[in-house]
Amino acid sequence: MTKKEKVQFVIDTLQSLYPNPPIPLHHKDPYTLLIAVLLSAQSTDARVNLITPILFEKADNPFEMVKLSIDEIREIIKPVGLSPMKSKGIYGLSKILIEKYDGEVPDKIELLEELPSVGHKTASVVMSQAFGVPSFPVDTHIHRLMYRWNLSTGKNVVQTEKDARRLFPEELWNRLHLQIIYYGREFSPARGWNKEKDIITSTIGRKHLK
């Protein structure tokens, strides 16, 4: 199977399994998505989705968020982990959004990456899922699967993103990165992996994987 055929097999299989993948983090606008993605670092989407309704009931926009203290934010978001850093980031970026962008989330990735606690992946998710701009955010699932499928070297997420953007058509990026995440969770997890159920890896993956 050629590299081009492998890529098409991935696209076709994922499309058949997840034709309309939902955005896993609950949100109502770019700001609440930005906060939810920031909170999801080293946590699970399920846990974040339990905490964000509590946080957003008190503050679902930057103007209300800065009325809370960093300690108040930290107390609410403790269950998702890394709360000292995340609470400072949420407060800090909310303040900047008010001062520089009239409370709106900018729709340019370089401006998002300038905000406190917002890295490239977080900014890419917001660009893709809030603004519909073609992006390919790479999380642990995508990084793992691109390596297992022999479509990337697995050296680092930067290289994995470059490889994904090079191999897959741009018009599919926003849907495809979600499809890969769902596939990774269901069929190709890091632990408890049953290769027989993982049809993509079994068909096109690295032969030495156990």
pLDDT at 209: 66
State if pTM tops 0.75.
Answer: yes
User: What is the C-alpha separation between 121 and 127, in angstroms, rounded?
Assistant: 10
Name the region of 150 (left: φ>0; alpha: ψ -120 to 50; beta: rest).
left
Encoded amino acid at 130, one letter: A
Class at the top of the CATH hierarchy for domain 30-129: mainly alpha
| Model confidence pLDDT, tens digit, residues 119-175 | 999 999 999 999 999 999 999 999 999 999 999 998 899 999 999 999 999 999 999
CA 104/CA 197 separation, integer angstroms: 44
Query: How far apart are the C-alpha atoms of 78 and 3, rounded to whole Å?
Result: 44
pLDDT digits (tens, 9 = 90+) for 20-75: 999 999 999 999 999 999 999 999 999 999 999 999 999 999 999 999 999 999 99
- Classify domain 3-21+136-204 at the CATH class level: mainly alpha
Give the pLDDT of residue 20: 97
Longest Cα–Cα distance in the chain: 58
Q: How many CA atoms lie within 13 A of 56 on its CB side?
A: 19
Token pair belonging to 202: 């079994």
Tell me whether the CATH fold assigned to 3-21+136-204 matches the one assigned to 30-129. no
Look at residue 1 and give its three-state secondary structure: coil
In this prediction, residue 8 carries a pLDDT of: 98
Average pLDDT score over residue span 101-118: 98
pLDDT score, position 196: 87
- Which of the pair, 58 or 196, is modelled with greater confidence? 58
121 is catalytic: yes
Position 208 scores a pLDDT of: 58
- Catalytic residue from among 139, 162, 207, 210: 139
Q: Identify whether 139 is a catalytic site residue.
A: yes
Predicted local confidence at residue 195, as pLDDT:
85
Per-position DSSP letters for 109-153, written without gaps between them: HHHHTTSTT--HHHHHHHHHHTT--------HHHHHHHHHTTSS-
pLDDT band for position 11 (50/70/90)? very high
- Cβ proximity of 86 and 76 under 8 Å: no
Q: With a cut of 80, say whether residue 207 has pLDDT above it.
A: no
Domain boundaries, the chain: 3-21+136-204, 30-129
Residue found by looking up tokens 């069929």 in the block: 187
Active-site option among 6, 60, 121, 163: 121
